[in-house]
């Protein structure tokens, strides 16, 4: 019996390409694992009305963790247009599978390292090494939204907040509402995760990013909670910044920051900016980590126009596998994999199109595998 059981979730588009590439690398590493394929992706939404079938959730419950490729995601109206005509009008609504996975398995921590590997022609500056901790289950991506706004919901809000009245003139059918729900417990958890990481890896500071001067209640809760948690780590400098200013400062002075912490949407924005500083989404990996389970993924999209062309850069998926190996406790394998990735980048002999080269996704995988 294999040491590990890993849910294998290619998704669609280039998700299949990059997962084929990482399989070459994992086989070269000789990871003692059984890979269990799970159905997930746009085709399952179109023909079943569920991009993440229940059978996949049940399969994942029998595994140690999951490796995820990429998935197509479209707005509500387009999703309905592509749904099988036999399923339309029967109450099926598209919901992001990766968001559902995060909530289903309580994957509260999104870990996103952003490291400029030497020799990468896409580096904004050499030596950038940031880690972003993004709260993964609530905030603006909590999924509590309305369109139109139900009258009962509007009336309750109108009763308890004077600023609701001015919106009624537009008509409830003409309004949509997204909520930003945040709890003290999960704010504390994500900030503590950032400090524990800084402590473990001797990082120089922790910066919490939000917008409490405008989002006074939710942002205020995050800031107050962060300051309380920071007192538990007196040896680690703590800073807080506003999301808009932080995006400017991160571009201007990327070396001033180390571990950064944010709620769901702000963490999403911040981590994509940080990813561009170190080469773009082809180098951006993420770990969705809970107490007992984790899902690892590249953060790029499915790029359907490139599906099956083996054109895209698989390094983000390789780095996601590195995070998976760390989480599994296979630290030697994780270090070997990162060193092999770094060596291929620095040599510059094998490069995908985004790096100015002409090599394929699988050729990049073979180059990394050869270094192991």
Residue 312 · residue 19 · CB < 8 Å? no
Residues 48 and 162 in one domain: no
pTM: 0.94
Please answer whether residues 277 and 328 qualify as being in contact, where contact means their C-beta atoms are separated by less than 8 angstroms: no
Continuous H helices in 92-203: 97-104, 151-160, 184-200
Domain that includes residue 311, residue range: 1-108+284-372
| CA nearest neighbour of 238 among 198, 201, 210, 205 | 205
Q: Are residues 254 and 134 in the same domain?
A: yes
Query: Is residue 312 a part of any domain in this protein?
Result: yes
- Are 196 and 75 within one domain? no
- β-partners of residue 260 are 132, 207
Check whether residue 135 and residue 238 sit in a common domain: yes
Per-residue pLDDT of the chain (372 residues; tens, 9 = 90+): 889 999 999 999 999 999 999 999 999 999 999 999 999 999 999 999 999 999 999 999 999 999 999 999 888 889 999 999 999 888 888 888 988 999 899 999 999 999 999 999 999 999 999 999 999 999 999 889 999 999 999 999 999 999 999 999 999 999 999 999 999 999 999 999 999 999 999 999 999 999 999 999 999 999 999 999 999 999 999 999 999 999 999 999 999 999 999 999 999 999 999 999 999 999 999 999 999 999 999 999 999 999 999 999 999 999 999 999 999 999 999 999 999 999 999 999 999 999 999 999 999 999 999 999
Q: Under a CB-based contact definition with an 8 Å cutoff, are residues 115 and 318 in contact?
A: no
Q: Note whether 25 and 47 are same-domain residues.
A: yes
* Same domain for 202 and 269: yes
Same domain, yes or no: 371 and 255: no
Report the CATH number that the domain containing residue 190 is assigned in CATH.
3.40.50.2300
User: Whose CA is closest to 317, among 291, 353, 343, 341?
Assistant: 341
DSSP-derived 3-state class of residue 248: helix
Distance, CA of 149 to CA of 172 (rounded, Å): 5
Q: What is the pLDDT at residue 38?
A: 98
Among candidate residues 271, 357, 262, the one with its CA nearest the CA of residue 316: 271
DSSP state of 149: P
pLDDT of residue 96: 86
Number of domains within the chain? 3
**In 3D, which of 25, 45, 46 has the Cα closest to residue 35?**
25
CB 19 within 8 A of CB 8: yes
DSSP-assigned beta bridge partners for residue 11:
70
CA distance 338 to 258: 20
């Amino acid at each position: 019996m294999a040491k590990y059981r890993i849910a294998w979730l290619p998704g669609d588009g280039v998700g299949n390409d990059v997962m084929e590439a990482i399989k070459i690398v994992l086989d070269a590493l000789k990871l003692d694992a059984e890979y269990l394929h799970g159905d997930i992706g746009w085709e399952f939404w179109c023909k079943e009305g569920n991009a993440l079938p229940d059978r996949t959730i049940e399969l994942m419950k029998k595994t140690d963790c999951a490796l995820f490729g990429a998935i197509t995601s479209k707005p509500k109206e387009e999703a309905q247009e592509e749904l099988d005509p036999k399923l339309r009008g029967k109450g099926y609504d598209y919901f992001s599978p990766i968001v559902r996975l995060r909530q289903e398995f309580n994957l509260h921590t999104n870990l996103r390292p952003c490291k400029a590997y030497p020799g990468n022609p896409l580096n904004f500056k050499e030596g950038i090494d940031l880690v972003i901790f993004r709260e993964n289950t609530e905030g603006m991506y909590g999924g509590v939204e309305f369109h139109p706004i139900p009258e009962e919901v509007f009336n309750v809000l109108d009763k308890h907040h004077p600023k609701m009245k001015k919106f009624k003139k537009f008509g409830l059918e003409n309004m949509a509402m997204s909520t930003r729900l945040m709890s003290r417990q999960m704010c504390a958890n994500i900030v503590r995760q950032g400090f524990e990481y800084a402590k473990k890896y001797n990082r120089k500071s922790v910066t919490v990013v939000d917008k409490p001067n405008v989002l006074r209640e939710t942002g205020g809760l995050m800031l107050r909670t962060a300051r309380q948690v920071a007192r538990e780590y007196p040896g680690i400098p703590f800073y807080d910044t506003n999301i808009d200013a932080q995006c400017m400062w991160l571009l201007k002075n990327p070396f001033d920051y180390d571990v950064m912490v944010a709620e769901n949407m702000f963490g999403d924005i911040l981590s994509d900016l940080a990813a561009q500083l170190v080469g773009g989404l082809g180098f951006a990996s993420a770990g969705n980590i809970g107490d007992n389970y984790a899902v690892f993924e590249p953060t790029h999209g499915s790029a359907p126009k490139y599906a099956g062309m083996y054109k895209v850069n698989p390094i983000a998926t390789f780095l996601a596998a590195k995070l998976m190996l760390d989480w599994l406790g296979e630290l030697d394998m994780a270090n070997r994999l990162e060193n092999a990735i770094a060596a291929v980048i620095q040599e510059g002999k094998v490069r995908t199109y985004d790096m100015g080269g002409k090599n394929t996704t699988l050729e990049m995988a073979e180059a990394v595998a050869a270094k192991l």
